[in-house]
Amino acid sequence: MDPSDKITGTEQKIKGLEQDLNDLRQGLTLVADYYRDLQKMSKQQEAVEAVDEILARPLVDEDIEFEGIWKFHEDALIADPEARVPFDIMYKAFVHYCEKSGRSVVDNDAFEFVFAHIENPAPVPDKGDWVGYRLRDGTS
């Protein structure tokens, strides 16, 4: 083998190794970019979950509470301007309705607050009684 052939062969091997090294560097850059994208997406997902936890979930919970009270209003009460139902009896009827229908029970304060804001007609608190509604038969 001629010494110039050895140099040419060595140069070709070096060029091949340089090309392999260049390919490895490009691959490493792609992997690094992919990893950064994953980190960015992970942070975005965490941010979305945090927003859901802080803002959206309480709103959904409030809607569920309101819906339960509204359904109780629709299903278990009859508008009667002369009727009076004591606060504790109304709340017990609400709890019973929720347990029977599989709805979430809210505490008494939340019930009274939301119930007081229902309209058509609005119940009126008066001396420990709700005025304006009576319970349907079988609701208690």
pLDDT in tens, 29-76: 888 888 888 788 777 777 777 766 666 565 555 566 678 888 899 999
Looking at residue 97, which CATH number applies to its domain? 1.10.10.10
**Are the C-beta atoms of residues 139 and 92 closer than 8 Å to each other?**
no
88 is a domain residue: yes
Would you state the pLDDT for residue 114?
87
70 is a domain residue: yes
**Are the C-beta atoms of residues 112 and 102 closer than 8 Å to each other?**
no
129 is a domain residue: yes
Closest CA to 134 of 70, 98, 83, 95: 83
105 is a domain residue: yes
67 is a domain residue: yes
Average pLDDT of span 10-36: 86
Instruction: Determine the Cα–Cα distance for residues 46 and 10; give it in Å rounded to an integer.
Output: 53
23 is a domain residue: no
E strand segments, the chain: 77-86, 124-126, 129-135
Average pLDDT of span 109-130: 89
Instruction: Determine the Cα–Cα distance for residues 20 and 82; give it in Å rounded to an integer.
Output: 91
**Containing structural domain, residue 106:** 63-135
Q: Find the angle CA(39)-CA(22)-CA(24) to the nearest 5 degrees.
A: 45
Tokens (6 digits) for 19: 């090309």
Domains: count for the chain:
1
